Chains A and B, each alone.
Chain A
Amino acid sequence: MGLSHFLFFNYNQLMKEKLRKYLTLFLSTLEISAFTFGGGFVIIPLMRKKFVFKLKMIDDEEMLDLTAIAQSAPGAIAVNASILVGYKIGGVLGALISILATVIPPFVIISVISHFYIAFRDNRYVSLVMGGMIAGVAAVVADLVISMAWDILKRKRLVEILMLIISFILLEFMNLNIIALIFIAGAVGYADYEISRRWGHDLH
């Protein structure tokens, strides 16, 4: 029961905790990826529920930053978001683990289905279940949007509320490119910061 035993014990504990963290990351991402129906960004509400509210590994604003990065980088948004979440939780190894966990479900499902995809595509039961799931996914996304928009409104900062409304109009009715919007919104954020820094007050 000397010092070496104590150190060894601590090392073991540490390894166990690390392993548990990676395992949680892997299983959570696997589960989320298996249910990312209806477009890659659907992974965002699922990740927010899991990693922000349930596991408390990421804070809410950080999740929005990660979404912005995932959206503006090349590649599938779901994969990008997983890489960012994985990196936050476990560095480069974490990123690799979550890439793997994100790819496995669609890879396995398509590999299996590709052999009888016409039967799958035309199956009545499958399309009924999928039709219902899309309605469920729409509810999940609506719930996310309302709670996030509410957070913005609650803060009562004119710049943010205006940006929310204007961005929505630009995207929905003017078909503005997402990358262009990201540049504009980033510039507005920076201008807002410079103005309040130089004149010492917020734009209310």
Chain B
Amino acid sequence: MIYIELLLSFIQIGLFSIGGGYAAMPLIEHQAVNVNGWLTMQEFADIITISEMTPGPITINSATFVGIRVAGLPGALVATAGCILPSSIIVTILAFIYYRFKGIDAVSSVLKGLRPAIIAMIATAGLSLMNMALFNGDISNGISITALVIFVIAFIILKKWKTNPIFVMLGAGLMNLIFGLV
């Protein structure tokens, strides 16, 4: 039955994608394109493009997309439920363990050791975002002056007024639209 196939495929994707969206992509391709033939390679490329243009994790986006194409809205619900099921269980258990044991010195020392590494991880992810925003994904494309101006203005506004980042993002989108049209 298609619902069970969707569920099982996306449980596997949810379970084995460790380390974010880039780890999930090959798994989604394997399940949706190669094993089950739910998407063509072109459709898979499209869903990645659309994921970059819309909010939300790529696994949720592709689960919804694949589910709806294969079995309509119920299919989308089943596939999405499948891909969040493993982490819902595992991460809730981890949350329980964290709050139970974080008071122990040895545990908190390990967590303290992780903090600089986590900041470095966010920094590298931030750099690839800047690469995407300012150089259109590759430094050899040259810098986009419009994007740079928007980036600098957004950064100053955030630093100076501690504005809600959502307004800054919306403003940045609007600015680029206006620049693009005039």
Contact = CB atoms under 8 A, between A and B. Distances in A.
B140 to A, nearest CB: 18
Given A76-B59, A78-B56, A135 B122 contact: no
Contacts, number: 361
A94 to B, nearest CB: 10
Contacts of B117: 68, 163-164, 167, 181-182, 184-185
Top 5 closest A-B pairs, CB basis?
A189-B113, A132-B176, A106-B56, A75-B87, A136-B172
A200 interface: no
13 contacts: A36-B57, A44-B122, A49-B165, A65-B115, A74-B18, A76-B83, A128-B177, A132-B173, A132-B177, A152-B119, A182-B114, A187-B113, A190-B106
Contacts of B148: 135
A135 B114 contact: no
A93 B80 CA distance: 19
A64 to B, nearest CB: 5
A79 B92 CA distance: 11
Given A35-B55, A105-B56, A138-B151, A189 B119 contact: no
A114 interface: yes
A55 interface: no
Contact of B88 (A35, A99, A172, A194): A99
Interface of A: 31-42, 44-46, 49, 53, 61, 64-80, 83-84, 87-88, 92, 95-96, 99, 102-103, 105-107, 109-111, 113-114, 117-118, 120-121, 124-145, 148-149, 152, 160-161, 163-164, 167-168, 170-172, 177-179, 181-182, 184-190, 192-194, 197
Contact of A144 (B17, B122, B173): B122
A177 B117 CA distance: 12
Interface of B: 14-21, 24, 46, 49-50, 52-61, 64-65, 68-69, 73, 76, 80, 83-84, 86-88, 90-92, 94-96, 98-99, 102, 105-106, 109-127, 129-130, 132-134, 147-148, 150-152, 154-155, 158-159, 162, 164-166, 168-177, 179-181
Contacts of A192: 109, 112-113
A84 B147 CA distance: 34
A106 B71 CA distance: 18
Contact of A110 (B21, B65, B114, B159): B65
State the main secondary structure of chain A at its contact with B: helix
Contact of A114 (B60, B65, B152, B176): B65
Nearest to A85: B95
B100 to A, nearest CB: 12
A103 B10 CA distance: 15
